[in-house]
Chains A and B, each alone.
Chain A
Amino acid sequence: DVKVTQSSRYLVKRTGEKVFLECVQDMDHENMFWYRQDPGLGLRLIYFSYDVKMKEKGDIPEGYSVSREKKERFSLILESASTNQTSMYLCASSLPGGLTYEQYFGPGTRLTVT
């Protein structure tokens, strides 16, 4: 069974704080993704990584950075948290290539920035 875990289910941070969201997968997947999910806007891709130390910007990378030092771990960093980054953050992983690869999602981190 593929397992994707995220460091926190709920997180409350103050404006201006640096925030780290951690994601770990145990299936040796090459691809890892960070999304945010907001009502009415759906799932939006922030960043993805297709290999260790490799990253690509998604649709909404502004205000975020990522780190992938080990294959199983993908971190999302909010350099200076703002209230408009209050959201549900979902991490996912998948195998590379092919037409039909499935993304496996973690349980999500609900971040509130006050």
Chain B
Amino acid sequence: QKEVEQNSGPLSVPEGAIASLNCTYSDRGSQSFFWYRQYSGKSPELIMFIYSNGDKEDGRFTAQLNKASQYVSLLIRDSQPSDSATYLCAARRGYQKVTFGTGTKLQVIP
């Protein structure tokens, strides 16, 4: 079992819709969770982090964490074609190490 699992997609949503990206993790000792966006041919860049159960909102993005279910999600409201990218979920345990999932490719259809 992979430590951080994501559906590879592609996930296709129409412009203006809500995109829902999901991630599960196996290590119950994971303390904090990150969502990175990676455009094709580019490096990952951080969108959001979350470490408490519940929701965290930042503009059009909402991260959700459920530690009991070992589940993290990212909602993107009012999806735009510029949101088309691969979204990487990552989990951190301990002082330094971060484990990444394989990413979900999102396509926003105009």
Contacts and interface: CB of A to CB of B under 8 A. Distances in A.
**Most-contacted residue by chain B among A40, A41, A99 (CB, 10 A):** A99
B88 A43 contact: yes
Nearest to A6: B43
Contacts of A100: 32, 49, 51
B31 interface: yes
Contact of A45 (B8, B97, B101): B97
Interface in B52-110: 88, 92, 95-103
How would you classify the secondary structure of chain B's contact residues: helix, strand, loop or mixed?
loop
B2 to A, nearest CB: 9
Binding site secondary structure of chain A:
loop
Interface range, A side:
20 to 34
Interface in A24-46: 31, 35, 40-45
Nearest to A35: B100
A94 to B, nearest CB: 8
Interface string A72-114: 0000000000000000001000001101101101111000000
A102 B49 contact: yes
B interface residue count range (under 10 / 10 to 19 / 20 to 34 / 35 or more): 20 to 34
A58 B88 CA distance: 18
A69 interface: no
A45 B42 CA distance: 18
Contacts of B97: 45, 48, 56, 58
Interface of A: 31, 35, 40-45, 48, 50, 56, 58-59, 90, 96-97, 99-100, 102-103, 105-108
Closest 5 CB pairs of A and B: A42-B102, A105-B43, A43-B100, A99-B32, A102-B46
Given A40-B102, A99-B32, A99-B49, 16 more contacts: A41-B102, A42-B88, A42-B101, A43-B44, A43-B88, A45-B97, A50-B95, A58-B97, A90-B43, A90-B44, A96-B95, A99-B31, A102-B34, A103-B46, A105-B45, A107-B43
